[in-house]
Homo-oligomer: A and B are copies of this chain.
Amino acid sequence: MSEPTEQIPPAEDKGPSKSALKKAAKEAEKKKKAEERAAKLAEEAKKREESEVDVAAGLYGPLPLNQSQSRPKRERVQISTLSSRAGQNVLLRARVHTSRAQGNKMVFLNLRQRTDSVQALILAGEKVSKQMLKWAASLADESIVLVEGSVVQTTEPIKSASVPDVEIHVSQIHLISGLDGRLPFTVEDANRPENDNDSAEVQTKRVLLDTRLNNRVIDLRTQTSQAVFRLQSGIGDLFREYLSQHGFIEIHSPKLQGAATESGASVFKVNYFKGDAFLAQSPQLAKQMAIAADFERVYEIGPVFRAEDSNTHRHMTEFIGLDLEMSIEEHYHEVMEMLDGMLKNIFKGLRDRYKKEIEVVQQQFPADDFKWREGPEGTLVLTFHQAVDILVEDGVPREDLDDFSTENEKRLGRLIKAKYDTDYYIIDKFPMALRPFYTMPDPNDPTLSNSYDFFMRGEEILSGAQRIHDPQLLCEKMRSKGVNPDSMKPYVDAFRMGCPPHGGGGIGLERVLMLFLKLNNIRRASLFPRDPKRLEP
């Protein structure tokens, strides 16, 4: 803080005396001179500093924009491999997770790559100048740097790093990409545990879901998000792996439809040249037509669109459907068992192959490990009626159970967990009235159907059934549900040319991910979620 250069005395009633004015002028003169001297000294010091050779010149600073100017093909390493590289000199690209100067002799950096991090040190020395230290200390969090240095074993484990047993002693550090503006929140804050038992202090530091989603690119950089989407990718792999082994092929059905199919109410309308098109609510019709076309066993992974104004923790307007359809030889339980085997393969695959990622997520979202029956007893299958009985026994009035509310579904999940110790089960034989027109009725009781839902932690993740493959019965059921068969002629026609008995199911990818990890909101399981109020980013 510098003093003002001229000090004007307080105004007096009669004005200042001559001697007072003279004294003030002298003092001002004196002060001016002192300041001029100080400025001169400062300038000289600056000049001296500038003329001082920067021993680290060329070893730090911003790089020119990478436009692929050259390709030296120098190896760059992954942080996850550093433990085995003690003693080596390495080059790596990483984010500056945090940076902190200690006095003017040392800068600590926490460098990050996806779910991995390591400590890096810049120590004043022969080849590290004050200028280099100052520059490194000024690097904004989330800058991307290219770092060269030696990997050194640490004497004590570094708690703040995922690789705790080594650190990097930096010899060169350059900026690849900097920040243009302020971070809306830090990645560190975004990664804090979401535990209701946390202290008030920790809880206030939490970043709200809406703030995260508005700045999704930053939110996705947390270790948790990195792990969540690695797991999401794993679910797709495990789904395909199992089905491929069981003779399925992947199909891609059109999302643009000529008619508002299945149920007109929840379909998005598209301006299609001079007419209209509609976005498919599911690949239901196409995958059944693929069965009529002899593909026998098909699956699809693709977006499905629901124009429902549902603003809940588990609804989105666009999500990824894992769908399959297969012909039946004798009984629709062939399909139910295929779906069950496939889901158990997913659960097992996640647990066995993604241990690290699951642990990372559990640090932010504490949850009991997901439980399912693996033994020879098989998956718990209840009929709809049996499920109703369990709820009635627990005090729910039977007249409230024509259908399951979200509340009752969760209650059932808790009851089943307590009684059978499983987070995963199937409910079979839903009432016909609750299912779409293409559902095959039970052979003995026309009020029931050959259909099932699958549940994880008390929430539905899969819905499926045997379908009607007979065109007459199909048209009859369409009419009884108020659908005009003529409005879906290509679909109905597919069954007129001979179609095997068949069934299938559709799974919500994000629901499986959310419930396996207990993320509590489906938006966390979607890269860039869409709901009635969100179309960006």
If A237-B250, A303-B255 touch, whether A330 touches B72 (CB-CB below 8 Å) is yes
A292 smallest CB distance to B (angstroms): 5
- Chain B's nearest CB lies how many Å from the CB of A330? 5
CB A251 to nearest CB in B, in angstroms, measures 6
Residue A158 CB within 8 A of the other chain: no
B272 touches A178 (CB 8 A): no
Q: Which residues of B contact A499 (CB under 8 A)?
A: 144, 177
Please provide the chain A residues from 403 to 443 with a CB less than 8 Å away from any CB of chain B in the complex.
440-443
- Complex alpha-carbon distance, A231 and B310, angstroms: 40
Contact B329 A93 (CB under 8 A): yes
Which of B217, B256, B332 is the one whose CB lies under 8 Å from A535? B256
Report the minimal beta-carbon distance from A110 to chain B, rounded to whole angstroms.
Answer: 14
Q: In the complex, A178→B296 CA distance in Å?
A: 17
A328 vs B66: C-alpha distance when bound (angstroms)? 9
**Counting CB contacts under 8 A, is A469 at the interface?**
yes
Which of the residues B93, B286, B332 comes within 8 Å of A528, measured between beta carbons?
B286
Assembly CA distance A491 to B240 (angstroms): 32
Which B residues are CB-close (under 8 A) to A509? 252
Chain B residues near A237 (CB-CB < 8 A): 240, 244, 250
On whether the beta carbons of A269 and B270 are closer than 8 Å, the reply is yes
* Cα separation A317 to B180 with both chains bound (whole Å): 38
Shortest A115–chain B CB gap in Å is: 10
| Contact residues in B for A244 (Cβ distance below 8 Å) | 237
Per-residue B-contact encoding for A298-323, CB less than 8 Å = 1, 0 else: 00011101010100000001101000
Query: Is A216 a contact partner of B72 (Cβ separation < 8 A)?
Result: no
How many Å from the CB of A372 to the closest CB on chain B?
A: 24
Q: Are B271 and A268 in contact (CB under 8 A)?
A: yes
Q: Which residue of B lies closest to A510 (CB)?
A: B252
Report yes or no: A532 in contact with B66, Cβ–Cβ below 8 A: no
Within the assembled complex, what's the spacing in Å between the Cα atoms of A509 and B251? 12
B496 touching A254, Cβ below 8 Å: no
Query: Across the interface, do B318 and A254 meet the contact criterion of CB distance under 8 Å?
Result: yes
Residues on the B chain within 8 Å of A497, using CB: 142, 179-181, 183, 217-218
The reply on A504 being an interface residue by CB < 8 A is no
Contacts of A253 in B (CB 8 A): 527-528
Are A296 and B114 in contact, with the CB atoms below 8 A? yes
Residues 199-228 of A, flagged 1 when their CB comes within 8 A of B and 0 if not, give 000000000000000011110110001100
Residues from chain B with Cβ under 8 Å of A309 in the complex: 273
A341 on interface, CB distance cutoff 8 Å: no
Closest Cβ–Cβ distance, residue A216 to chain B (whole Å)? 7
A93-B500, A320-B252, A498-B142 known; A68-B333 Cβ under 8 A: yes
A422 and B67 CA atoms in complex are apart in Å by 30
Find out whether the CB atom of B144 lies under 8 angstroms from the CB atom of A256: no
Judged by a CB distance under 8 angstroms, whether A363 is at the interface is no
Decide yes or no whether A22 CB sits under 8 A from chain B: no
Q: Are B330 and A114 in contact (CB under 8 A)?
A: no
Contact with B along A262-283 (1 / 0, CB 8 A): 0000001111110001010000
Per-position 1/0 for A71-97, Cβ under 8 A of B: 111101000000000000000010100
Instruction: Indicate if the CB atoms of B305 and A256 lie closer than 8 Å.
Output: yes
Interface residues of A in 454-473 (CB under 8 A from B): 466, 469-473
Cα–Cα, bound, A72→B215 (Å):
57
A29 at the binding interface (Cβ < 8 Å): no
Q: In the bound complex, what is the Cα–Cα distance between A149 and B443 (angstroms)?
A: 29
Q: How far is B216's CA from A293's CA once the two chains are assembled, in angstroms? A: 8
Select one of B258, B490, B532, B535 contacting A258, CB under 8 A: B535
Find chain B residues with CB under 8 A from A440 CB.
67-68
**Contact, CB under 8 Å: A254 / B528:** yes
User: Is A70 an interface residue, CB under 8 A from the partner?
Assistant: yes
- Residue contact B500 to A144, C-beta cutoff 8 Å: yes
User: Nearest chain B CB to A426's CB is how many angstroms away?
Assistant: 15
- 0/1 string, A114-156, CB within 8 A of B gives 1: 1000000000000000000000000000111000000000000
Query: In the complex, which residues of chain B have a beta carbon less than 8 angstroms from the beta carbon of A286?
Result: 527-528
Q: How far is the CA of A301 from the CA of B300 in the complex (A)?
A: 11
**Cross-chain contact A268 with B258 (CB below 8 angstroms):** no
Interface assignment of A58: CB less than 8 Å from any CB of chain B: no
B-facing mask of A367-393, CB < 8 A → 1, else 0?
Answer: 000000000000000000000000000
Are the C-beta atoms of B251 and A68 separated by less than 8 Å? no
User: What are 14 pairs between A and B in contact, CB < 8 Å?
Assistant: A67-B440, A68-B501, A69-B443, A144-B499, A217-B494, A217-B497, A233-B250, A236-B250, A237-B250, A253-B528, A256-B317, A273-B309, A301-B301, A302-B302
Contacts A66-B328, A237-B250 known; list 6 others, CB within 8 Å: A67-B466, A70-B330, A180-B471, A229-B249, A256-B317, A269-B270
The 3 closest A-B pairs by CB, nearest first: A490-B537, A258-B535, A220-B293
